[in-house]
Amino acid sequence: MRFWGFLVQKLKMDYGIDRAFTTSYRWKVTSKGGTMNKRRACCHILAVLVVCSLVAVIPQGILAQSKAGLELFNSWKFQEAEKAFREALKADPKDTPTSFYLGLSLLLQGKNSDALDVFLKAKSSQDRADQWTRPAIPSELQIQLALARARLGLKQYAEAWKNLESARIEDGKSSDVYVYRGVYYLQQGKNPEAIKELQKAISLDKKNPYAYYYQGLAYYHSSEAQKAIDALKMFLSLAPDAPEAREAQQILNKLC
């Protein structure tokens, strides 16, 4: 849809055509210097339509691989998702959304260094793109959180905090920002600070499962058994198939 908006604006600027595609063939084609050659305008439009038709045909195989990867990713099958995303990227190495999801697949397998490399390349690609060509995914919020998560996995706390602050500035009402701020403190044994951040995450989104998961861990390490039980039970009710569900249940078995 973004491309079509660009096309309409281009035709308006170049030829004064208010509607690029219409049921009527009676266009008034004008320019600053007067009436333009209609043949030139039609040739311009025809060339763009040819390009559009090629764009519509070529990516189907790529899209199939990316779609398969997303289905696997959403089913928590991260290793298989990684393979599908890598296959898609062989056909289109510049597909930034697919690269981003590849990075997430790596991250959720604990391959933090590889994931960080992918996220940095995705951010570089997004930063170079203009407003017409920049994909909606990953947003700046998403890429900053992804970078923070990879760096937390690598215990690069100073850099991770910078990414978390950038994410907060980007969207201070995102629950996930405070989830990973909580993780930042939790990993360093600062449980009271972690609990505060995670409570903020829950206040912004009461159905964010990982806010409860990490809050449960923080309470567990603070020897607040009942609060840990309540938080981990909530996590399991919201995300029973999550990879962390097994660990959450093991902690509950110890506490109950």
The segments of the chain whose pLDDT lies below 50 read: 1-37, 41-59
Q: How far apart are CA 209 and CA 231, in angstroms?
A: 9
Instruction: Tell me what pLDDT residue 170 has.
Output: 97
63-131 and 142-256: identical CATH topology? yes
Instruction: Tell me what pLDDT residue 65 has.
Output: 79
146 closest CA partner among 187, 101, 93: 101
Instruction: Tell me what pLDDT residue 131 has.
Output: 80
Instruction: Tell me what pLDDT residue 248 has.
Output: 97
Provide φ and ψ at 31, rounded to 5°: -150, 180
Instruction: Tell me what pLDDT residue 19 has.
Output: 38
CATH code reported for the domain at 63-131: 1.25.40.10
| pTM of the predicted model as reported, rounded to 2 decimal places | 0.76
Instruction: Tell me what pLDDT residue 175 has.
Output: 98
Instruction: Tell me what pLDDT residue 87 has.
Output: 95
Which CATH fold topology does 142-256 show?
1.25.40
What is the residue extent of each domain of the chain? 2-57, 63-131, 142-256
